[in-house]
Amino acid sequence: MSRLPGLIVVDDASRPRIVLPGTQVLGLAVPGAYQKDPALTRIVNEEYADTCWLELSGMTVGDALPERPAKPVKVAADATWWEVAALVARLHSPLVAVVDQERLLVGAITLDRL
């Protein structure tokens, strides 16, 4: 994931639709059966695990979104440090979308940069 804390997915108007922390992005790539039963992960060899990534080819971000996504974690462009820090702490999100007055995405704040 190139050290990115997650993804901000926007709609056609550039408004944040969902903010996915890196752990959730990784979860999209790991088949659900392996997440539900850790014993399965012990029986998979590395060669087979490498082929699992091929199943993701052609998949769009939209295909991977949860059916009922949570509201995106976002703040106004003029939000204070305290507002952002409180939001990050309350919602456990290492990534916050920054929006302008029209609610269009203008940037992001990561936990590392807070």
Is 60 exceeded by the pLDDT of residue 2?
no
**Domain for residue 87, yes or no?**
yes
Contacts of 110 (CB under 8 A, 6+ apart): 5, 94, 95, 96
The percentage of the chain sitting over the pLDDT mark of 70, rounded to a whole number, equals 96
Q: What are the residues whose beta carbons fall under 8 Å from the beta carbon of 111, sequence distance 6 or more?
A: 5, 88, 94, 95
Whether residue 75 is contained in a domain is answered as: yes
Q: Is-contact 19 74, C-beta < 8 A?
A: yes
pLDDT (0 to 100) of residue 47: 83
CA-to-CA dists, residue 62 to 16, 22, 72, angstroms: 13, 16, 15
Q: In this structure, is residue 1 part of a structural domain?
A: no
Supply the range of the domain harboring residue 108.
6-113
- In the prediction, which pLDDT does 1 show? 43
Confidence tier at 104 by pLDDT (50, 70, 90): very high
Question: At 109, which CATH number?
Answer: 3.10.580.10
User: Is 70 inside a domain boundary?
Assistant: yes
Count of structural domains within the chain = 1
Q: Quick: pLDDT tens for 31-83.
A: 778 888 888 888 888 887 777 777 777 777 777 777 787 788 999 999 999 99
Partners of 20 in beta bridges: 7
Residue 60 lies in a domain: yes
Half-sphere exposure of 76 toward its Cβ, with a 13 Å CA cutoff? 6
